[in-house]
Amino acid sequence: MSAKTNASASAAEDAESHPVAIAPAIMDPPVADLHTFADAPSDAVPEPLFSDLGLAEPIQRAIDEMGYRHPTPIQAQAIPYVLMGRDVLGVAQTGTGKTASFTLPMLEILSGSRARARMPRSLILEPTRELALQVAENFVNYGKYLKLNHALLIGGESMAEQKEVLNRGVDVLIATPGRLIDLFERGGLLLTQTRLLVIDEADRMLDMGFIPDIEKIVSMLSPLRQTLFFSATMAPEIRRLADMFLQNPKEITVSRPSSVATTIEAGLVIVEEAEKRRALRRMLRDDAVQNAIVFCNRKRDVDVLYKSLVKHGFSAGALHGDLPQSVRFSTLEKFKAGELKILVCSDVAARGIDIGGLSHVFNFDLPFHAEDYVHRIGRTGRAGRSGHAYSLATPFDRTLAAAIESLTGHPIPRLDVEGIAQMPWSEEERPRGGRGKKGKGNDHRGPAKPPAPRHKDTPPVAAPAAQASEPAPVAAAQVEAPLPRKAEPRRPQEQERPVRHRDRGPEDNGASVTGFGDDIPAFMLLPRRMFVVAPSAEDEAGEPS
């Protein structure tokens, strides 16, 4: 045990995002994994070597020592352009090796000279503190043979300390926007000498309302700078920002987390609100659950669920934005190091956080925004490994589920959890405990909804014994691309799962679902899969919820 704890420094590295998107594979011989890469039919190109990228010896040595030989696609494509001083527009998400695609060439560029007091030479903007830390770790790993220093400028931690570090001069400043602006306005730093800017996770910055801050920060920098801009998606709004911040950028897109087709097995369980925790516990007790992130929509619910899980003997931690920063970091480290098996969290960890070999993601609540579903489940099934993404819904979450399915273009197969009563979708509005909607009289939509047959009369759909044991895997490439802007070229699983999505499923199937018109989510017509978990003693004993 102590050995494991002592290894936490290196365990942190293990769990860290790596140049090759095989986070846990640092233990494996990298070559073996790379053969898998090479075998992937879609990538028939010979693989480049890190040593071909022209990185300085100290950097190359650090890479070698970490056991990496081949850059990921984004690294192979971006690094040469960054080194030649071009602006880069990278469409990629964490898990593609994105972080090292800018940290490595930055180290190279910065290695020539030293920083001056209060004038950081480069600036990396991250949307959350955890991501900032992740990038900082990357610099530690790859910069170990260089004399460069970096500083983390984030909220929730002592400003005096950060000021002091800045005064000593930093080469790489990694910051969240709020604290950076704060310090800047207090005169704690000058950005006039900052010639290298990285805007990471731009789409998330947008979602979080950081764009005005980013614009402000960019305006503090010299126009004579190199800018690297990364986003998981390229929505029009993001494109506009890129045009604003970048000059003649080299655009690089990697659509998949790695060249290996990863799969995420998704599932949806519909239960009464009061049964959610019990259902979750059952699912968590499945032997396949190595480690899991459990997402809640609210911080309060994170706290409640976390305490409940601990009370039931689970090895769990909680993570959300209201917890002290020191706790946030240490909890995440413990989870990455395997000291905690379950991490209950808010959407603070929904994006970007890279945890190697995460076997399961659970949505204790369906997210309010369908895109968040995609981001959340993208924490698993990374780097060519299979992942599991199971969601709990109450009967009132029908529209949330429908939004997710329409976004991903894939039905979420329904799951049954043994010993838990499965529910149909409700026709009713969610009962609101007190304030909220002002009455339900906003029915200006007209009488379009016919009183269709009740869902609960629908038989539990006789299973055509199709994939009774193995649910259809969802190709991660499909799931990971949140906003399929153009028509998807192909959908491999369509032939595997012949679902009547559009053509009036109800009559065809004998099943009937209200409220969807002709556009019944196909999963509703699919057989359910049984999620079998050995009942535990406590569960049998009956318990406080």
Of the candidate spans 20-28, 342-350, 411-419, 453-461, the one that interacts with DNA by CB under 7 A turns out to be: 342-350
Beta carbon of residue 125, minimum distance to DNA (angstroms, whole number): 10
Applying CB under 7 A, does 304 fall inside the site for DNA? no
Beta carbon of residue 520, minimum distance to DNA (angstroms, whole number): 23
Applying CB under 7 A, does 128 fall inside the site for DNA? yes
Total binding residues toward DNA, as defined by CB under 7 A: 35
Q: What is the token pair recorded at 518?
A: 């002709």
178-207 positions binding DNA, by CB under 7 A: 178-182, 207
Beta carbon of residue 313, minimum distance to DNA (angstroms, whole number): 26
Beta carbon of residue 353, minimum distance to DNA (angstroms, whole number): 11
Closest CA to 273 of 484, 421, 469: 421
The site map against DNA for 13-32 (x = CB under 7 A) is: --------------------
Applying CB under 7 A, does 297 fall inside the site for DNA? yes
Q: What is the token pair recorded at 422?
A: 């499965």
Of the candidate spans 14-22, 125-133, 257-265, 375-383, the one that interacts with DNA by CB under 7 A turns out to be: 125-133
Of the candidate spans 75-83, 133-141, 237-245, 317-325, the one that interacts with DNA by CB under 7 A turns out to be: 317-325
Is the distance from CB of 109 to CB of 81 less than 8 angstroms? no
Q: To 5 degrees, how large is the angle CA 314–CA 319–CA 324?
A: 125
**Is the Cβ of residue 61 or residue 369 nearer to DNA in the bound state?**
369
Of the candidate spans 58-66, 68-76, 340-348, 518-526, the one that interacts with DNA by CB under 7 A turns out to be: 340-348
Beta carbon of residue 32, minimum distance to DNA (angstroms, whole number): 37
152-171 positions binding DNA, by CB under 7 A: 154-156, 159
233-292 positions binding DNA, by CB under 7 A: none
Answer positive or negative: Cα dihedral of 127, 131, 137, 138: negative
Q: What is the CA radius of gyration of the chain?
A: 24
208-237 positions binding DNA, by CB under 7 A: 208-210
**Is the Cβ of residue 80 or residue 321 nearer to DNA in the bound state?**
321
Report the distance separating Cα 326 and Cα 467, nearest Å: 46
Phi, psi angle pair for 51, to nearest 5°: -65, -15
Is the distance from CB of 263 to CB of 473 less than 8 angstroms? yes
Burial class (CB in 10 A: 0-12, 13-18, 19+), 252: buried
Order of strands across the sheet with 292-295?
316-319, 342-345, 292-295, 360-363, 387-393, 263-270, 474-475
Answer positive or negative: Cα dihedral of 107, 108, 114, 117: negative
The site map against DNA for 451-470 (x = CB under 7 A) is: --------------------
Of the candidate spans 61-69, 296-304, 405-413, 524-532, the one that interacts with DNA by CB under 7 A turns out to be: 296-304
Which string of DSSP letters, residue by residue, matches 326-386? Answer: HHHHHHHHHHHTTS-SEEEE-GGGSSS---TT--EEEESS--SSHHHHHHHHTTSS-TT--
Residues in Cβ contact with 216 at an 8 Å cutoff, skipping those fewer than 6 apart: 181
Of 203, 347, 416, 480, the one binding DNA (CB under 7 A) is: 347
What is the number of helices (H) and of strands (E) in the chain? Answer: 21, 16
Note the residues at the interface with DNA (CB under 7 A).
Answer: 127-130, 154-156, 159, 176-182, 207-210, 297-301, 320-322, 346-348, 368-369, 372, 436-437
